[in-house]
């Protein structure tokens, strides 16, 4: 069965430090992968996506993610975190059905220390 695992429930980093949020997936075919961010009081926003091609994808707000098929991973990174990055981050994979439902990870809550 398809699944997405985000091993870290909560992460705290200092402002200016680098960030890596982990995501592992289980999927039989080439996955369509996404990272979304949910800030307090705001809707989910698409950070970046991977469909095919270059395994390092760039997103908005300075985020990037790398698809590693051998590790079934799609980790999200940012070289220097800003206080405004504090939010909930969700990794998701789209299934192959006609409606392309998203299978969600449980999320990682990011706190940023000043």
Partner 1 sequence: GAVVSQHPSWVICKSGTSVKIECRSLDFQATTMFWYRQFPKQSLMLMATSNEGSKATYEQGVEKDKFLINHASLTLSTLTVTSAHPEDSSFYICSARVEGTSGEQYFGPGTRLTVT
Residues that bind partner 1 (CB under 8 A): 32, 34, 36, 42-46, 49, 51, 90, 94-95, 99-102, 104-107, 109
Residue 86 vs residues 54, 64, 97, 103: alpha-carbon distances, Å? 28, 16, 33, 23
Closer CB to partner 1, 15 or 109, in the complex: 109
Shortest spacing between CB 78 and partner 1, in angstroms: 20
Tokens of 114: 């000043």
Closer CB to partner 1, 46 or 56, in the complex: 46
Shortest spacing between CB 31 and partner 1, in angstroms: 10
User: How does DSSP classify residue 99?
Assistant: T
Distance in angstroms (rounded) separating the CA atoms of residues 106 and 114: 26
């Amino acid at each position: 069965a398809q699944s997405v695992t985000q091993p870290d429930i909560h992460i705290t980093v200092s402002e200016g430090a680098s960030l890596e949020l982990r995501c592992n997936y289980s999927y039989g075919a080439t996955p369509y992968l996404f990272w979304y961010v949910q800030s307090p009081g705001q809707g989910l926003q698409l950070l970046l996506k991977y469909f095919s091609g270059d395994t390092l994808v760039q997103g908005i707000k300075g985020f990037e993610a790398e698809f590693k098929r051998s590790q079934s991973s799609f980790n999200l990174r940012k070289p220097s975190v800003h206080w405004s990055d504090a939010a909930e981050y969700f990794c998701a994979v789209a299934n192959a059905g006609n409606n392309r439902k998203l299978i969600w990870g449980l999320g990682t809550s990011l706190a940023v220390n000043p």
